[in-house]
Amino acid sequence: MQTNTQKLAIVSSRGHDDERGTVAWTIANAGVNSGQQVTMFLVASAVDTVRKGAAEHVRMNPFDPPMGELISTFMDNGGRILACPPCAKVRGYAEEDLIDGVQIVGSNALHALIRDGASTLSF
């Protein structure tokens, strides 16, 4: 019997300036926990959330875990994080400035997921 893991690609443009940044990570974690293969594609200020040390004490909503915890839980459970190259470059970030495991890759990686049947959400 062949099983296909459902794929989910979440595009997030929200960082520490908007509660929707936390919502994106919360939904990403729920997707991973439901057995989906989840990839976060970060653009604009969302790239700031994965700079080393940047999200450790960010808590946009007092009822949600800190953003740093949401991100590390996501990665620990197999989530994949991709960051937009121009968005990282304009902020002066290289891969070594980002949390270990975050890849700076172009939108071709996102489009490959979509061509492979991934559902998409955006924040």
Q: Where are the domains of the chain?
A: 7-122
Write down the pLDDT at residue 2.
43
User: Going residue by residue through the chain (123 aa), what tens digit of pLDDT does each one get?
Assistant: 445 789 999 999 999 889 999 999 999 999 999 999 999 999 999 999 999 999 887 888 888 899 999 999 999 999 999 999 999 999 999 999 999 999 999 999 999 999 999 999 999
Whether this prediction's pTM lies above 0.75 is answered by: yes
Write down the pLDDT at residue 3.
54
- Among 3.40.1260.10, 3.40.50.620, 3.40.50.300, 3.40.50.150, name the CATH number for the domain at 7-122: 3.40.1260.10
Write down the pLDDT at residue 119.
97
Sign of CA dihedral 29, 75, 42, 107: negative
Q: For residue 85, give Cα distances in angstroms to 57, 90, 123.
A: 25, 9, 18
Write down the pLDDT at residue 29.
98
Residue 55 CB coordination number (10 Å): 24
Centroid of chain to Cα 122: 11
